[in-house]
Chains A and B, each alone.
Chain A
Amino acid sequence: QSALTQPPSASGSPGQSVTISCTGTTSDVGGYIYVSWYQQHPGKAPKLMIYEVTKRPSGVPDRFSGSKSGNTASLTVSGLQAEDEADYYCGSYAGSNNYVFGTGTKVTVL
């Protein structure tokens, strides 16, 4: 199972929006609603930000939103804040009780 493809980096100024893509195949991202996004600060554990493509866990700001079109999922962070600077990973169910994560995107707040 190959890792999902994400851009290595993305950036934006405070208050702006940034969108991160996550490209897979019909066997993972395109085939299931079970696409999630995780935020990871250096030296910390990942934190769930979005699940089932568009849902936000309790406590996650509504500045974070998810979507999917075909084999590509996207995470948009609106109203960028300094604390949003982190690595972001997508993840997807890949069938037959297998899971796959994305290559990761480093978001920089300029």
Chain B
Amino acid sequence: QVQLVESGGGVVQPGRSLRLSCAASGFTFSNFDMHWVRQAPGKGLEWVTLISYDGTNKYYADSVKGRFTISRDNSKNTLYLQMNSLRVEDTAVYFCARSPQFDYWGQGTQVIVSS
């Protein structure tokens, strides 16, 4: 069965960096584009970024453009999100999800940006 498992979240100070991972199993990872979506405490879902199946094309929400970088290693069936220059407003649960329909989601990993 399809499984997505995020990791790497934690508490970090503003301005610092964090890298999230999403380990995929149960499907041919290299065939699918992948998303990161976040959800701030008590708030709705916010699309963050998308990467094409082969890692060639990457797209970002304006709120993270220039600070976050999505990448993938198809040999390891793993998706990454490098988050730099973190802000308090980046505090959220971060989910990875399979494209195109967001049909499978991980359980999420919490990121808290606080001084």
- Say whether A47 contacts B105, CB under 8 Å: yes
Q: Counting CB contacts under 8 A, is B15 at the interface?
A: no
Q: Contacting A91 at CB < 8 Å: which of B45, B57, B59? A: B45
Q: Counting CB contacts under 8 A, is B32 at the interface?
A: no
Q: Contacting B102 at CB < 8 Å: which of A1, A36, A97? A: A36
- Say whether A48 contacts B101, CB under 8 Å: yes
Known: A36-B102, A46-B95, A99-B50. A104 touches B44 (CB 8 A): yes
- Say whether B102 contacts A91, CB under 8 Å: yes
Q: Counting CB contacts under 8 A, is B74 at the interface?
A: no
Fill in one digit per residue for B72-111: 1 if any A CB lies within 8 Å of its CB, else 0.
Answer: 0000000000000000000000010100111111111000
Known: A36-B102, A45-B107, A48-B103. A98 touches B95 (CB 8 A): no
Closest to A34 in B: B100
List B contacts of A34 (CB < 8 A). 100
From 36 to 82 in chain A, residues with beta carbon under 8 angstroms from any chain B beta carbon are 36, 38, 44-48, 51-52, 57
Bound form: Cα–Cα A98–B46 in Å: 11
- Say whether A57 contacts B57, CB under 8 Å: no
Bound form: Cα–Cα A3–B44 in Å: 9
Query: What size tier do the contact residues of chain B reach?
Result: 20 to 34
7 closest residue pairs by CB, A with B: A97-B59, A45-B105, A101-B45, A99-B47, A104-B44, A51-B101, A48-B103
Can you name 27 A-B residue pairings with CB atoms under 8 Å?
A1-B61, A3-B46, A38-B45, A44-B107, A45-B107, A45-B108, A46-B102, A46-B105, A47-B105, A48-B102, A48-B104, A51-B101, A52-B101, A57-B101, A91-B47, A96-B59, A97-B50, A97-B57, A98-B47, A98-B59, A99-B47, A99-B50, A101-B37, A101-B46, A102-B44, A104-B44, A104-B45
Binding site for A on B (CB under 8 A): 35, 37, 44-47, 50, 57, 59, 61-62, 95, 97, 100-108
Binding site for B on A (CB under 8 A): 1, 3, 34, 36, 38, 44-48, 51-52, 57, 89, 91, 96-104
